[in-house]
Structure 1
Amino acid sequence: MSNAPVLETERLHLCPMTMEHWPDYFDFMTSDRSAGMGGPFDAKMSWALFCHDTAQWSLMGHGALMITDKQSGMCFGQVGINHGPLFPEHELGWLVYPQAEGKGLAFEAARRMATWARDERQLPSLVSYVDQDNIRSRKLAERLGGVLDPRAARPEPEDLVYRHY
């Protein structure tokens, strides 16, 4: 059983992943939209990533939450704190489905997740690893207050690292 919280914002529920989220997650991960994360991925790797995002709650005390609309229940993507053997530091990460772009939903969700990480987990610093070609994620990291940290360790040498204090 997951120890993942349910977090809220004005418009959103950030909730634990369930099998109901799998079809949209799979569509995203197997599409060109996942290129900034190393995708597109095949079905096996998409499933492995879905399980990874879920398992981090039990293993690490943090992980991914799905971004859902409070009124309709529609899923808009994912936000999470990643860490472990694949991430040098605690990463504030996100992915947004096409219908959610340009509405401030990723900002709202990421800001809430960062607050949870600081207040509940007492993490002193978060980073966001961003593909240098992903302009939308770069702008979001900056809007969240992230500052480029060229000396930070990164999982991929070409990634930019935005540090959130």
Structure 2
Amino acid sequence: MGLDIVNGPVVETERLILRVPRIGDFERYAQMFAHESANHIGGPLLRGEAWRRFLQMPGAWLLQGFGMFSVVEKASGLWVGQGGPWQPDGWPGTEVGYAFHPDARGKGYATETCVAAIDWAFDNLGWSEVIHCIAPANSASQAVARRLGSTRRGPGTLPPPLDVHEVDIWSQTREQWRARRAGAAP
């Protein structure tokens, strides 16, 4: 039996529950990474590759005290994606990332998740900035970053072996975020 990290933080939004990943999330996670649209997030992946990638988030929660949350639809209890703080070794900054199952896209879940996750990261991790590493061709994620108030900083480099993927860094400071959330001009 594994170590219990299931009782980690839970963040609720109007439509979603953000919680630490659980083994029951894997089937939909594997489906998400098998889909052709996973090309912007390092896929598509075979099931075994998806399993190894899936284990990263519980490991991050256990060792770093944070990682991307599993995102669950309140109304159905269905796992719809992941989103939240993420900073592997060598990463270009303190990221709030996101990835959603194909049947959950177009519902505003990425923006709703990221708003809650950015609030949580700034309140609980002491970060001074949030970034998003986005493939230049991923216009949907660029639109999410814009809705969040992030701006394109320029090209970035991920650590090997991910350095073969082209990414742009989008970002905003804690002060910009809080001013926007308060309704003031940044």
Alignment partner of 1:135 is 2:143: no
Give 5+ residue unaligned stretches, structure 2: 174-186
- 2:109 corresponds, among 105, 110, 119, to 105
Letter in 1 for 2:39: A
Letter in structure 2 aligned against 1:35: N
**Paired residue total:** 165
Take 1:32 and 1:133, find their aligned partners in 2: how far apart are those partners? 14
d(CA) in 2 for partners of 1:99, 1:42: 19
8 Å contact from structure 1 (residues 148, 163) kept in 2: yes
- Residue of 124, 131, 145 corresponding to 2:128: 124
Higher relative contact order (CA 8 A, sep 6+): 1
Q: What is the TM-score normalised by the length of structure 2?
A: 0.82
Which residue of the other structure, out of 67, 72, 94, is the alignment partner of 1:63? 67
After TM superposition, what 4+ stretches of structure 1 lie above 3 angstroms from structure 2?
A: 151-157
Is 1:162–2:170 an aligned residue pair? yes
Cα shift readout 1:107-162 (whole Å, capped 9, x = no counterpart): 00111000000011111111000011111001001111111112655444620110
Q: Specify which of 93, 111, 114 is matched with residue 89 of structure 1.
A: 93
Return the alpha-carbon distance in structure 2 between the equivalents of residues 111 and 164 of structure 1. Answer: 13
Stretch deviating more after TM superposition (51-60 or 98-107): 98-107
Whether contact under 8 Å (2:82, 2:100) holds in the other structure is: yes
Map Cα deviations across residues 88-121 of structure 1 (whole Å, 9 max, x no partner).
Answer: 2111100111222221111001110000000111
Amino acid at match of 1:114: I
- Could you tell me how far 1:48 is from its partner in structure 2? 1.3
Q: What stretches of structure 1 of length at least 5 have no aligned partner?
A: none
CA radius of gyration, larger in: 2
- 1:88 & 1:32 partners in 2: Cα distance? 26
Q: Aligned partner of 2:54: which letter?
A: F
Task: Report the Cα distance in structure 1 between the residues aligned to 2:60 and 2:32, rounded to whole angstroms.
Answer: 20
**Which is worse superposed, 155-164 or 57-66?**
155-164
